[in-house]
Amino acid sequence: MKFFLDTANLDEIREAAALGLIDGVTTNPSLVAKEGGVDFKQHVAAICEIVAGDVSAEVTSLDLEGMLREGREYASVAKNVVVKCPLTMDGLKATRQLTSEGIRVNVTLCFSAAQAILAAKAGAAYISPFLGRLDDTGQNGLELLADIVEIYRNYEWKTEVLAASIRSPVHVIEAARIGADVATMPFKVMEQLIKHPLTDKGLEQFLADWRKGGR
Ligand code: E4P
């Protein structure tokens, strides 16, 4: 399972990269906006210098022409840029076109298995079901993830299943159990994966005992 960091914050990306734990980065317009008035393409280029793996850059146009223009522009920033298109009619058309030009696309904002089937048929490199946001509506994001993984395996579709909108370590563990290809998570969740109170307590005890031994 690959780990992507779901952020546009360069400090977080540098820290996670230094840990050696991340295989890529996903950004979205809200995450980029949090970084202040950065130049988007320069910012994506800066991320791509830190991370060798796939870096998702999302289009903000709603129409096909705009998505194609942005997609081509972002893809020219670095080889590891993956263009993110929304799961709309034009988003699927853009996915098919960009894919045919050799530009990889991450289809985002997926909330149903039907949508995921369409993304795979459009040739997406990644499909991003949003677990947390679906949970927020009273539906089960992990059930959706399991459905998509099962369907994709039936046909050996190459589109990778990228579990997104991850809110907790449980989402990561369950996504791994289900067999998602990738989990993209906020830096906070990555930290939560590392930490365990019994590790801290055990370490404290070991060191206290060590000192008692006169060292
Ligand atoms: C995925 O690529 C998205 O950036 C992200 O996972 C959205 O998550 P959120 O629901 O926490 O905003």
pLDDT category of residue 197 using cuts at 50, 70 and 90? very high
Residue pLDDT, tens place only, 29-80:
999 999 999 999 999 999 999 999 999 999 999 999 999 999 999 999 999 9
How far does the centroid of ligand 1 lie from the alpha carbon of residue 130, in Å? Answer: 7
The whole domain housing 10 covers 2-212
CATH number for the domain that contains residue 24: 3.20.20.70
pLDDT of residue 157: 97
β-pairing, 24-26 vs 2-6, is: parallel
Question: What's the confidence (pLDDT) of residue 22?
Answer: 94
Query: Which residue, by CA, sits nearest to atom 2 of ligand 1?
Result: 26
Average pLDDT, rounded, for the chain = 97
Question: Which of the four pLDDT bands, split at 50, 70 and 90, describes residue 121?
Answer: very high
Best residue among 2, 3, 6, 139 to mutate for probing ligand 1's pocket (most ligand atoms within 8 Å of CB) is: 6
Tens of pLDDT along 153-191?
A: 999 999 999 999 999 999 999 999 999 999 999 999 999
| Ligand 1 centroid from CA 207, angstroms | 40
- Is 28's C-beta closer than 6 angstroms to any atom of ligand 1? yes
- What confidence tier does 134 reach under pLDDT thresholds 50, 70, 90? very high
Dihedral sign for Cα atoms in the order 135, 3, 90, 143: negative
How many structural domains are present in the chain?
Answer: 1
**Which backbone phi and psi does 20 adopt, to 5 degrees?**
75, 20
pLDDT at 215 over 80: no
Structure tokens that stand for 161 in this block: 């299943």
